[in-house]
A and B are shown apart, each in its own frame.
Chain A
Amino acid sequence: MSVSEATPGLARGTSPGRPARPRRSRLARRRRRAGILLSLPAVIVVVALLGIPIGQAVYYSMTNWNGLTAQWIGPSTYTAALSDPIFWRVIENNALLLLSIPFAIGIPLAIAALLNEHVRGWRFFRSVYFLPTAVSWVVIGMVAVQFFALNGLLNKMLAAVGLGSVQTNLLAGQRTALLALAITFIWSMLGTNTIIFLTGMATLDPTLLEAARVDGLKRRQIFFRVTLPLLKRFVQFSFVITVISAFSALFSLIFVMTNGGPGFGTTTLEFFVYQSAFSLGQFGTGALYGIILFVIMIVVGLVQLRLIRSEDGEGW
């Protein structure tokens, strides 16, 4: 007696340990085929507009492409880039900018919590805090330059409160310019993140907060023990867009405020891609740094996904 005869439902040739794959009906097969056919145009578009350019970028990253001609060099372009101290300085700048993420999330969260209490004039303040989102990065950058300049508003304010001795030109030092950039970045993310958290708080079930109050929790305890855990999804979303912005949306801010300087003090990987390709005409090198940025973003995205899903018990 063969196994297939002995075990009803097992397809011919399958091992006894594995359940048999249910045989698809004709209708299911036709539906599957139709699904593939209907999704094919979208797949073709994605491959044409994303897959091919990414593949080309990978190829050109291993050449000395100058926009007109390209000579194959090979993977040694990557080893050369990784041994360049300027490249590591640029990565360090990106890493240091990540330190601003907790502030770019924490401050809007605190503001949203205050506004959610419906303090007097909260509607006006909501509009004020949302304002940075409506302003272009270029304008923000230009205002920031005036604010941090030696004769700018910051130093005048310091002088007015008797702190003239600590007046400094933040944009003139490599580390201080990065600090000025980070502060501007935090400010520019204020509106978006505040609105995200306010929206989140508006979705919370008020009976839960009421129950917490009845149970005798104080305002602070309610925020940390009830509101914040319930806002987890919104914090995660805010975290994702803030990290992505820190890596890939600061170009115009850097371009206007510091042009990547002083030295390489505010040059991020994104800006480095632009400089290599468009200032120096070394498109191959630009492609190389673009691929590295792409890989970093994939890793960051996967880590975020992992963190979010592991808390839900879903794994990757």
Chain B
Amino acid sequence: MRHWKVLAATAAAALLATACSSGGGSSGSTSGPVTLTIWENYGTEQNATALKNLAKAFEKLHKNVTVNVVSQPADNYFALLQAAAVSKTGPDLAVMWTGLFTLQYKEFLTNLKGKIPAADLARVNPNALKWTSDSFDAANGPYVIPLENQFYIGFYNKAAFAKAGVASVPTDWTQLFAACKKLKAAGYTPLTYGNGGQPLGAEFYPWYDLSYMMIGAHPVTSWQQLYSGQIPWTSAANEAQLATWSKLKSNGCTNSDVLTKTNNLGDFETGKAAMMVDGTWDTQKFTSALGSKVAAFVPPFSNSPIKGVVDFAGDGLSMTNYTQHSAQALQFLEFMTTSQAAKIINAAGLIPAINGTSTSNPVNQQMLNFVSQDHMTAFPMLDNVVQGNVVNTGSKELPSVLNGSISPKSALSSMQTTLGQLPSTQRGTSYP
């Protein structure tokens, strides 16, 4: 009898020990070698370089941690992430887009409030943290530590402007059309469109342009009404903006193959095109190709001089809620808030989202100056603050508007119909 008791006690002790050790493992407090897996969808963008260098620097600081950065296909990245979350076989950390994208996938993300010291979070641009938190209120705690501040922005070739006799950068529609005329006469494609550099679809991504059209039509405080439907997509103001935008092609301001061109970035880099609307992720590419000839401008899609600029921390890293290495993953996120990380991000040609840091790229600095010196209003990326279904419909319909294949009214009606199909909980007067 005593023999059985001893055996039972030993077994219980063994079970307890196993339970304790597995519990320790899951909290990630082991000091043994750990491999931290990060998924990203950056492709060949500068963000990929920044992330790889961040991983290397982190490995130097934490000798027991190996960071495995996995590049996933951009086209179905979120579906892969979601599928991996179902089977809990995904990464420890994952690149996540901010705004409604974050909230859509928050079920498998960790809210970082209380997980990352408040002092570390305080180093991050509060406007950036806001767009990764429930109800877009930073007090609710972020799900994402932003990698960088991004701008949807226009780039122009100063030499082309000078050669064509365009004395100043256009600030409204009228000036833009006038500049186009001069640039075309000088032999340039004034504004180039195409899907180059866009991993998201076969056509160009219209939400950079639409963001600026909506800046020209509505103040930032009204943008939530585009989400709720209080400002219908079919409103006269929106239709008028799209109608003017569609004239860019019919007036010869763009290349003729806006829907099918694939080397539009190349046209700008080689100086064939004078302007293009893109984002900060390509700044380094342009400055490398064009040197001091390239500069940033705010796409002037407005009847009066444009007063706003898309300045938004569009992406960052989030921790999955099923990670087995939460301690190391949190350490990595904390590292992203440091000045050392900011230097690495800046070196990759990006704008760090850390307070008090700067950018050494003059074109990026010019973008920051639009807000800090020219006092332009910072707007979010429109596609990050309206419903994914509406973004999807817009992405399909809007390029055809510029191409002249469908009317602005038709495209906006499709977007409005898509909005109307959503349950009322997804188009409330406040964000979820």
Contact = CB atoms under 8 A, between A and B. Distances in A.
B108 interface: yes
A267 B400 CA distance: 15
Contacts of B304: none
Contacts of A282: 389
Interface in A111-137: none
Interface string B250-263: 00000011111000
B183 to A, nearest CB: 21
B203 A85 contact: no
Contacts of A85: 414, 417
Interface string B304-317: 00000000000000
Contacts of B78: 281
A104 interface: no
B284 to A, nearest CB: 28
Interface string B100-136: 0000110110000000000000000000000000000
B187 interface: no
A275 B321 CA distance: 26
A197 B329 CA distance: 62
A259 B104 CA distance: 23
A174 B82 contact: no
Contact of B396 (A145, A172, A261, A281): A261
A165 interface: no
Nearest to B411: A263
B107 A172 contact: no
Interface string A81-108: 0001110000000000000000000000
B417 A86 contact: yes
Contacts of A69: 107
Interface string A172-183: 111000000000
Contact of A150 (B202, B256, B388): B256
Interface residues on A, range: 35 or more
Interface residues of B, number: 37
B76 A262 contact: no
B421 A80 contact: yes
Given A172-B260, A257-B202, A275-B392, A262 B403 contact: yes
Contacts of A172: 257-260, 403, 405
Given A84-B417, A86-B393, A259 B203 contact: yes
Given A173-B405, A262-B399, A263-B396, A278 B260 contact: no
A258 B202 contact: yes
Interface in A66-84: 66-69, 80, 84
A279 interface: yes
A290 interface: no
23 contacts: A67-B79, A67-B83, A68-B82, A86-B393, A86-B414, A150-B256, A150-B260, A172-B257, A172-B258, A172-B405, A173-B405, A257-B202, A259-B202, A261-B201, A261-B202, A261-B259, A261-B400, A262-B406, A263-B400, A263-B405, A265-B400, A275-B392, A281-B104
9 closest Cβ contacts across the A-B interface? A259-B202, A278-B79, A67-B82, A172-B259, A262-B400, A150-B257, A259-B201, A263-B397, A278-B76
Given A262-B403, A267-B396, A279-B392, 10 more contacts: A64-B423, A67-B82, A85-B417, A86-B418, A149-B260, A150-B256, A151-B257, A172-B259, A258-B202, A263-B405
